Structure 1
Amino acid sequence: MNNFSHVQMGVDYYPEHWDRSLWVEDAQKMKEVGVKVIRVGEFAWSRFEPKEGLFDFKWLDDAIALFHDQGIQVVIGTPTHTPPRWLTEKCPDILPIQANGQPNHAGVRGHRCFNSESMDSYGSRIVAQLTQHYKDHPAVIGWQTDNEFSLTYCHCESCNARFREWLQNKYSSLEQVNQEWGTVVWSGEYNSWSQVTTPIGGSPFQNPSYQLDYYRFQSHSANIFQQRQIDIIRHNCPQHFITHNFHSYPQKLDLYPLGENLDVAAFDYYPNTSPNKTTTGPYSGALSLDITRGIKRRNFWIMEQLSGPPGCWMPMWRTPYPGFIRAYIWQAISRGADTVVQFRWRSANIGAEQFWHGLIDHSNIPGRRFEEFTKVCAEVNALSSTLAGTVLRNDIAILHSHDQLVALDIQPQSEGLDYYENIKCWHRTVTKLGLGVDVLNWMEHLSDYKIIIAPSLYLMDPAVATNLASFAEAGGTIIFTHRTGVKNMNNVCLMEPLPGLLSACAGVEVEEYDPIGNDPHHMVTADDISYSCSQWCDILKPTTAETLAWYADDFYAGKSAVTVNSHGRGKVYYLGTHVDESYMKVLIEELVEAHDLMIFPELPEGVQVSVRVRDSQSFLFILNLSREFQRIPLDSSYESVLYPGIKHPNTLTLEPYGVEILNMHNNH
């Protein structure tokens, strides 16, 4: 297996889009600026197989040879995201069928059904041909499966047949399906398996248990589709690594099963360039990076990163401000990216993505953004060996669940209650305090952490409930929030006081609730400080818990809003409402102090810190992801790793989009 842990820069390159005369100068220029790896091929099926059974890899052989001569390594994308027209014309069953019965059409991308037998046959063949051809090529180090998986929401005959099979494997009988889904409502009971179909018609008002299982089946289909490719690649190229380029939540695809059999997760990162997003964008991006790291619980790749203003399906964004590209590359590395691949080397002059800008504009004259990229390449290459093998080790984790996201989307609970946006709030609060945080699949083991934040565990798995209670018993701290323990895993409401299976460890029960949405409400703490709250109010009845805050409005004024319970050697907090971020900050600061964690309480807006460690070495990344000069207080004098010979005595000033990396174990 190739060692892909060294820190390096790369670019996405499409030789099939350019005249061959450009390949040579592009390869030479990449070597000059310090590019170490390129990704190719993920959309090139029509060039790899221009006619059925006629395979042509000569053009890519020639291109790869040029890059190999310059010492640049290659990751090849399997081209199954874009079946060629000759194939979809011959095998129309490849095209997904929409809920209204109409097929998707070729000419865009992602126009393939995961359950199509034709797609399975022809897709497996092109992957087998590619991997056989490049299995021994010295420049090729790895493979990317397909491209940016998402759900196809297909309703073809094959998907209907596979959906029934999936249900038959999950449930013992059709009678059990009726029972678990509660199909008696609206006389929806099934009398034969042939009546069970995908949600044809697309109505959002169908049985929520049925809808949740359909989304799970769709994720399962994507996973099986990818696994066929993984099996072929492993067989033909056992020395190569395998990755996939995930893209941002919120989406209804379950990333965690897809990531399980990959060697490394990858993410396509396009931070928003709008000045209006400077106060939220850096934090949303940090969450996406932390989610990507959590897929495998290890360092990851960026397979596409913003290089200029995007524009394709929407008007173009603002061009990146000076320093923006460099700062966000370092942000990705600071949060665990070992390789950052920029999209793309040169802006396309053909096709739908002509204005999804690359590092070089249509003029083909390198400009300001290219010069900035060149600077980053030099910095990354200079520090590659220093940072090799460094990882993040955090004491705080936020639990993230695909099932919660989908279930809460199927049945919105109140105005403004958005599962992923609420996770953003907690993650942003922790990040603003300079604390590292992992974002994990909610079913992972938790023993490595001291504090767990678990927003809205709306569906409850008994094993997870036991895991969380054990974590608290052993001395950990947990934060639960409103809409916890409402349903079982089949999306059916539980007939027991909320928060259900977590009531005992939380030491509280919900007497009643009020979906307040955006109506202004407040709560008051014991020290008589008022905080605004929104979305939801669980009216709490402590059993063994202590009340920390009380509602100040409505018929439940004076009732408990926030509680804490001692459970074993740990503490369990229950927040019955979506609290203001200022209260989140106060609470996290108290917990951090109790667990004696390092904190940066005076971080300016837009400044983020992160620590990568290896053995006894620790490197502190400080990034100013804002358009203002920022002054950051330090607890000591630190030596710069990024700028050798520079020391920062107790304070650091960073220009807009400025970056610094400090040696934490060489301070005085």
Structure 2
Amino acid sequence: MGTFFPRMLFGAAYYTEYQPYERLAQDLDLMAEAGFGVIRVGESVWSTWEPREGQFDLDWLQPVLDAAHDRGIKAVVGTPTYAVPPWLRRKYPETAARSGTGQPIPYGMRQDADYSHPAFRHLAERLVRRIVGRYADHPAVIGWQVDNEPGLRLFHNDSVFQGFLDHLRERYGDVETLNRRWGLTYWSHRLQDWADLWTPDGNSTPSYDLAWRRYQSRLTQEYITWHAELVRGLVPEHHFVTTCVALGQQGLDISAIGRPLDVTGANIYYAGQEGLALPGPDEPADGLHPFFVPWSGPAWLYLQNDLARGIRQEPFLVMETNATSIGGSADNFPLYRGQARQAVWSMVARGARMIEYWHWHSLHYGAETYWGGILGHSLEPGRTYQELSLIAGELRQAGPAIDGLRPRSDVAMLLSADSRWAMEFMAPLRGAAPAWFGDPQSYDRIVAAFYRGLFDAGLSVDIVSPEQLPPDPQELVDRWPVLAVPALYVADDATLDLLRRYAEAGGHLVLTPRTGYADEEAVARHEVMPGVLRPAAGACYQEFTNVLTPVTITPGDRSLPGPALHGHATAWADGLVPEGATVLAGYGHPHLGQFAAVTTHEYGAGRVTYVGTVPDRELSHSLADWVAAVSLPPDAWRADRPASVTCTSAATADGAVLRFVHNWAWDPVDYRLPDDVRDLFTGGHLAAGSSLALGPWDVRVLVERDTERDIERDGDTPATPPSPTAPTSSRRTP
């Protein structure tokens, strides 16, 4: 990372080819004046690069890169393979992705080609070699984005299905093994020959679906690996290769997609306006956020940052984020003044090394006409441009303090692509309309419930996948004293045993409904749950129920230290029976009252806490407070915060600590500082116990004082600069 990104990069995607008139010099002058240092170019216009098959126009980007270089602006060049030209679909119809057997996706959107097809690969490679060969030595170019947002679709092409069959033969060897592992005796699905396997369109077998989803992810992984290796072989060593990951794509395992890349690139989109309010509503109101943002609040923004960092367990690039309104023509929610600045410092605090907006200018045509750019349809600088100019100035002023920044986290959360896929197919929670296979968002709902509780409690989170867990349980404990495991429905024996040994070695393991319920084939285990984790949990269950109306939690044993749990059980309840565990909470319900809702059990040198329900926000918050009280060192920065304030931290390259203090609300607040600090931008000293003034939608970046020399140099006069979120018509001078 340090080789590629010695300094923070800040900029936007830029498409001179989309502008309604010639304004290249004007655009790049505005960027340079704003302090932008990077642009992303070229990734969406195959038909511009190759207007007819075999006829290439490679020169059109040269003026853009030349002008950028003249102004000290770097460029990331994207390969345009995710949006194919009409001639390709017309001449090579076999490359069209199919949404079902024999059902080609109609042309007219994007990401509608089967990127595993040899004809597509041939055409893509021919173009990529020409683009990269043309610009690999341009001095403005620092990196390459291969494709864009891969994994949007599942491919049902016949060639894909035949490849899936080959994959199954390799994995299982013979049909009898497959019959046994998938339980195909049921409903007379036993195979006598590989040719008997039905296509996935009407499949109802969970193990089949999980294997199909894994194979689709493998296709995406193979494609990005092929693409990255192709580009890497053509560019200088100091160039990086990435892609733009849209978190949550159905044909993608985000824990694997980063392996062939030099650095993770990801989209970080979030709901603005009241969608960033804290505390905010427990459930998002209708119209509060764009249709593709599943929930709101600062916790959603932080979760995406943590997911992006978790892809490679290292800092990441933000390839796209909100400039203003995002979404469709009815999603017009420009950010309030100050919210873009809040988001940027959130991303920096959690590991972003580059932040690019999508995009520089609002488009005047096409499906994304109302996905707002830094410049609106008038193409004149306005409030968004002014605010981002101020942010660019702050990033430059921060300089070495944020170079090599390492986010600090309190706990880890284990996320599993297999479990997500299995729960999308056969979900435990009910949705708005009852369905045989439940709400396909069940996994995300459970993850969100626990993540937001940790966030509300002031705890920072590392996201890790089962494959990324160190095999030594003591190493796991040393790195993460608390490990939350939401809905790990699909898990092999080795993973479950590692979790058990983690607790035995001294870790605090937090389990939730469905954890360990099925094996690696998504077959329900034939043992009393939680199976291999039962002795460690000190509790078991044999029955469970959906919960249609929230059930009040009742207090349990108060002999343990820490705050009492309170709130409600929602959506699901395991009938937990203690077997040595202490009951932390029960159900206030005439039937469920016979069971425990939350238990905890000392095991070896550690502890296992089992949460048998999907907690509401209140319960999740109180649970996180309790976990912190019993298993984490005290942190005065978490205590006594106003309801709208968050405090996160990161370590600088030279060992200092930066504190990022946000106010996610309209009302100004004062926050009493627990330690001596120095304001990163004013240099002013603020003493422990003094009041830090936070304006509406404000953020302050503070350096913790750690030497007497600093105290003598800075003095003891609190410094309260004007809120940078106040209206202004000029850029801040760094």
Identify the TM-score tier after normalising by the shorter chain.
Answer: over 0.9
CA contact (8 A) 1:252 1:402 kept: no
**What is the aligned partner in structure 1 of residue 597 from structure 2?**
561
Equivalence for 1:511: 542
Deviations 1:153-172 (Å, cap 9, x if unpaired)? 22112111111122122211
Q: What does 1:532-571 correspond to in 2, within 5 Å? A: 532-571=568-607
Q: Does 1:335 align with 2:365?
A: no
Q: Gapped runs of 5+ residues in structure 1? A: none
The residue correspondences of 1:160-559 to structure 2 (distance < 5 A) are 160-200=161-201, 203=202, 206-237=204-235, 238-249=237-248, 251=250, 253-275=252-274, 278=277, 279=280, 280-312=296-328, 315-415=330-430, 418-445=442-469, 446-447=476-477, 448-518=479-549, 520=551, 522-527=553-558, 531-559=567-595
Conserved in 1, the CA contact under 8 Å of 2:241 and 2:261? yes
- Distance in 2 (alpha carbons) for counterparts of 1:42 and 1:307: 19
CA distance in 1, matches of 2:48, 2:693: 51
SS at match of 1:333: helix
Matched, 1:653 2:669: no
The match for 1:602 is: 640
1:644 partnered with 2:683: yes
Q: Which residue of 1 aligns with 2:436?
A: none
String of CA shifts for 1:595-629, please: whole Å, max 9, x gaps.
Answer: 31425133333432221213421111112232332
Q: CA deviation at 1:345?
A: 1.0
Residue identity in the other structure for 2:321: Q
Cα distance between partner residues in 2 of 1:558 and 1:619: 48
Contact 1:525 1:548 in 2 (8 A): yes
More strand by share: 1
Match of 1:611 in 2: 649
- Contact in 2 for aligned 1:477/1:572 (Cα 8 Å): yes
Residue in 1 that maps onto 2:73: 72
In structure 2, relative to structure 1, the CA distance for the partners of 1:171 and 1:642 (3 Å cut) is farther
Q: Contact 1:7–1:385 (CA<8 Å) still a contact in 2?
A: no
Residues in 2 aligned to 1:311 and 1:396: alpha-carbon distance in whole angstroms:
33
The AA in structure 2 aligned to 1:243 is T
Looking at structure 2, the residues matched to 521 and 387 of structure 1 have their Cα atoms a distance apart, in angstroms, of 45
The gaps in structure 2 that reach 5 residues or longer are 281-295, 432-438, 470-475, 559-563, 712-734
Matches within 5 A, 1:133-152: 133-152=134-153
Q: Is the 8 A contact 2:568 2:618 kept in 1?
A: no
Give 2:7's aligned residue: 6
Contact 2:676 2:705 in 1 (8 A): no
Distance change >3 Å, CA 31–CA 653, structure 1 → 2: same
Q: Secondary structure at the match of 1:388?
A: coil
2:599–2:610 Cα contact (<8 Å) kept: yes
Runs of 4+ with deviation above 6 angstroms: none
Check the 8 A contact 1:151/1:222 in 2, yes or no. Answer: no
- Deviation at residue 480 of structure 1 after TM alignment: 0.4
Question: Residue deviations 1:171-228, cap 9 Å, x none?
Answer: 111222222111221112223223324412xx4x611111111111111111111111
Greater shift after overlay, 623-632 or 160-169? 623-632
Distance 2:594 2:198 in 1: 50
String of CA shifts for 1:478-506, please: whole Å, max 9, x gaps.
11012122110101111101011211221
DSSP-derived class of the 1:98 partner:
strand
CA distance in 2, matches of 1:311, 1:427: 25
- Give the stretch that moved more between structures: 14-23 or 159-168: 14-23
The one-letter code matched in structure 2 to 1:210 is: Y
Task: Tell me by how many angstroms 1:552 deviates.
Answer: 3.0
Q: Give the TM-score normalised by structure 2.
A: 0.87
CA distance in 2, matches of 1:560, 1:309: 45
1:581 and 2:617 correspond = yes
**Whole-Å Cα distance in 2 between the matches of residues 558 and 107 of structure 1?**
57
1:353 and 1:560 mapped to 2: Cα distance? 50
Whether the 8 Å contact between 1:625 and 1:657 is mirrored in structure 2 is: yes
Tell me which moved more, 385-394 or 627-636. Answer: 627-636
**Counterpart residue identity of residue 467, structure 2:** M
Which stretch shifts more, 505-514 or 135-144? 505-514
- Deviation of 1:413 after TM superposition, in Å, equals 1.3
**Structure 2 residue corresponding to 1:635, chosen from 674, 685, 692:** 674
Moved more, 512-521 or 264-273: 512-521
When normalised by structure 1's length, the TM-score is 0.95
Q: Report which stretch shifted further, 559-568 or 14-23.
A: 14-23
Tell me by how many angstroms 1:376 deviates. Answer: 0.6
- 1:147 partner amino acid: N
Structure 2 counterpart SS, 1:425: helix
For 1:169 and 1:529, locate their aligned partners in 2 and report how far apart those are by CA, in whole Å: 50
Distance in 2, matches of 1:473 and 1:281, equals 36
Residue 117 of structure 1 is matched in structure 2 by 118
Give the CA RMSD over aligned residues.
2.1
* Aligned-partner SS, 1:350: coil
After TM superposition, the structure 1 stretch with the greater mean CA deviation from structure 2, 350-359 or 241-250, is 241-250
The reply to whether residue 665 of structure 1 matches residue 701 of structure 2 is no
CA shift, 1:642, in A, is 2.7
Q: Give the fraction of aligned pairs with identical amino acids, expressed as a percent.
A: 30
Structure-2 separation of matches of 1:311 and 1:586: 35
SS in 2 for 1:260: coil
1:146 offset after TM fit, Å?
0.9
- What's 2:472 paired with? none
- Whole-angstrom distance in 2 between the partners of 1:403 and 1:606: 36
